[in-house]
Amino acid sequence: MNHLPIISVADLRSDDSAKRRYVADQLGRACREVGFFYVVDHGIREATIDTAFAEAKRFFGLPLEEKQKLSIKLSPHNRGYVAMSDERLNPKAGVDMKEAFNIGVDLPEDHPKVKSGEPFRGANFWPDLPNWKINTQAYFDACLDLGRLIHRGFSLDLGLPEIFFDPHLATPIATLRMLHYPASASEQARQDGGAGTHTDYGNLTLLATDTVAGLEVRNRQGDWIEAPHIPGAYVCNIGDCMMRWSNDTYVSTPHRVRPPQQERYSIAFFLEVDPNSVIDPRDIISSQSPKYEPVTCADYLASRLNATYEHRAVGQS
């Protein structure tokens, strides 16, 4: 395969079960064969997406000392600012030449889940920019709704009750990550990592991109194929947690971002399930011997993030 499938998910909202099944079949085929696909007709307004990109540019345009006040190093819950070169998505390669900002499900400090020390349950860091929180939260909520909808398609494809994932996505570990890649002037710099070769950790990623190329996906033949920007579309991919849960029925695919020749922005929405949800292949593929031991989503995600950040322990109070 040298291109990614494009799937309209509008009919997942249809009252016609045959139409929902048709979309589910398309999603399932993409998840089995390549692990990446584009989603169109998703229902998120263009203005909402444009505003999110404008807010990302506003934040990354702040002085470094202002951004560092919201450093992810100050959060045990994977929230806040990641400075340039602070991350290694591929530990065997060099540092990633990008900066990022993460927000998660927004719970107040006095929420019972926060007070009890539940992993990945902490307050977000918010920059002191007018309307920034409101606009970014609106985009987060829209992505979460879309992610829940796509999971209903997964349920249908896997032969599960359509609402199988609903209770696992009530208050999930969801991370909205704004990303900024500076322009790379030299050819040598572009051969190094913008974001190193990696697979995503959770269930599903929804990626909004600008018009600047960079994302590449490794197909089953081992070749790198470009995932170009398609106006109005999200690039979606399966993460390791979903591959594990489906007993390798769905595949998590390596991908990377090449440092661009011009400045590049993207916004990724990483959807994992509830921290206490148990990822057990026997719940989904009962006819096969499980390839993986049961593990909570929080424990699995923490183990992966701690390999990425050498300076801190993630998912601990």
Paired residues of 8 in beta bridges: 40
According to the model, what pLDDT value does residue 126 have?
96
Poorest-pLDDT segment among 4-13, 31-40, 94-103, 279-288: 94-103
C-alpha closest to that of 55 among 115, 144, 133 = 133
C-alpha closest to that of 171 among 13, 53, 298 = 298
Domain ranges of the chain: 6-308
Judged against a pLDDT cut of 80, whether residue 273 lies above it is answered with yes
- Quickly state the pLDDT bin for 306 (edges 50, 70, 90): confident
Higher pLDDT, 317 or 257: 257
Higher pLDDT, 261 or 96: 261
95-151: pLDDT as tens digits: 567 899 999 998 888 888 888 888 888 889 999 999 999 999 999 999 999 999 999
- Quickly state the pLDDT bin for 190 (edges 50, 70, 90): very low
What mean pLDDT value characterizes the chain? Answer: 89
Architecture of domain 6-308: Sandwich (2.60)
According to the model, what pLDDT value does residue 95 have?
57
Contact partners, residue 39, CB within 8 Å, separation at least 6:
7, 8, 9, 146, 150, 206, 233, 234, 236
3-state secondary structure the chain: CCCCCEEECHHHHCCCHHHHHHHHHHHHHHHHHCCEEEEECCCCCHHHHHHHHHHHHHHHCCCHHHHHCCEHHHCCCCCEEECCCCCCCCCCCCCCCCEEEEEECCCCCCCHHHHCCCCCCCCCCCCCCCCHHHHHHHHHHHHHHHHHHHHHHHHHHCCCCCCCCHHHHCCCCEEEEEEEECCCCCHHHHHCCCEEEECCCCCEEEEEECCCCCEEEECCCCCEEECCCCCCCEEEEECHHHHHHCCCCCCCCCEEECCCCCCEEEEEEEECCCCCCEECHHHCCCCCCCCCCCEEHHHHHHHHHHHHCCCCCCCCC
Average pLDDT over residues 192-211: 84
According to the model, what pLDDT value does residue 101 have?
97
Q: How far apart are CA 220 and CA 2, in angstroms?
A: 10
Which tokens go with 189?
A: 């710099």
Average pLDDT over residues 58-82: 93
According to the model, what pLDDT value does residue 96 have?
67
Higher pLDDT, 149 or 181: 149
78-93: pLDDT as tens digits: 899 998 866 555 455 5
Paired residues of 142 in beta bridges: none
Length of the chain: 317
